[in-house]
Structure 1
Amino acid sequence: MELIKEYRFEAAHRLPHVPPGHQCGRPHGHSYRVGIHVEGEVNEAAGWVIDYAEINAVVKPIIDELDHRTLEEIPGLENPTSENLARWLWQHIAPRILLLSAVTVHETATSSCVYRGA
């Protein structure tokens, strides 16, 4: 069974390693949507894989660190691409949610990235 808990946050960034004149080299913002994927067997007694409240207890404070911030000012996000943001989230969540199977970062309504750990 796979569960997905979604979060939203607003943040600004600029990408420091794009070619000169690239639009993402200028400061801009996104309304990010993040999906936290958890996979496992359903505990028949509880009726769920994991309590959504348990996911929220871990992930909400991490999302709050990102909300209304300039991402490249956060340690580990000096090059805040969607790929690097997904990996950063994984690194902060996976040690505390052992059933984590993927992190999806939606940078826009039509562009997203899925990270499944390494």
Structure 2
Amino acid sequence: MILFKHFNFDSAHFLPNVPDGHKCRTLHGHTYRLTLYFEGELDRDLGWVIDFSDIKSVVSPIIALVDHRLLNDIEGLENPTCEHVAMWLWGKIKVNIPQLCKIKLYETPTSGVVYEGA
């Protein structure tokens, strides 16, 4: 069984490694939409794979680290492409919720990345 939970956060960033003149080299912001997927066996007694409130209690403090922040200032996100943000989130969440099996991170409503771990 795979379940999912959505989170949103707003952050600013700039991409220091793109060529001069690229629009993403300058400071700008996004409203990110994060979907987390968790896989596991259905607990017959409880009726779920993992409690949604347990997910929220682990993930909300991690989201607070990036919400309304300049991502470039966060350790490990000095080059905060959508790909690097997804990998950073994975590292923070997977250690606390091992059932995490996939992250979908939208940088815009039409663009994003899917990450399934390394």
Code of the residue aligned with 2:81 in structure 1: it is T
> TM-score under structure 2 normalisation?
0.98
Post-superposition offset of 1:8: 0.4
Q: 1:114 offset after TM fit, Å?
A: 0.8
Give the superposed CA RMSD.
Answer: 0.6
1:80 matched to which residue of 2? 80
| Unaligned segments of structure 1, at least 5 residues | none
Q: Give identity over the alignment, percent.
A: 50
Q: What residue identity is the alignment partner of 1:51?
A: D
Structure 2, gaps ≥5 residues long = none
Measure, in 2, the Cα distance between the counterparts of 1:94 and 1:74. 19
One-letter amino acid matched to 2:83: E
TM-score (norm 1): 0.98
List structure 1 segments (4+ residues) > 3 angstroms apart after TM superposition: none
Task: Report the counterpart of residue 51 of structure 1 in structure 2.
Answer: 51
Q: Report the equivalent of 2:13.
A: 13
Shift of 1:18: 0.5
Aligned to 1:35: 35
**Paired letter, 2:33:** R
**Number of residue pairs aligned between Structure 1 and Structure 2:** 118
Q: Can you list the C-alpha shifts for 1:57-110, whole angstroms capped at 9, x where unaligned?
A: 110000011110000000000000010000000100111101000111100000
Q: Tell me the CA shift for residue 112 of structure 1.
A: 1.1
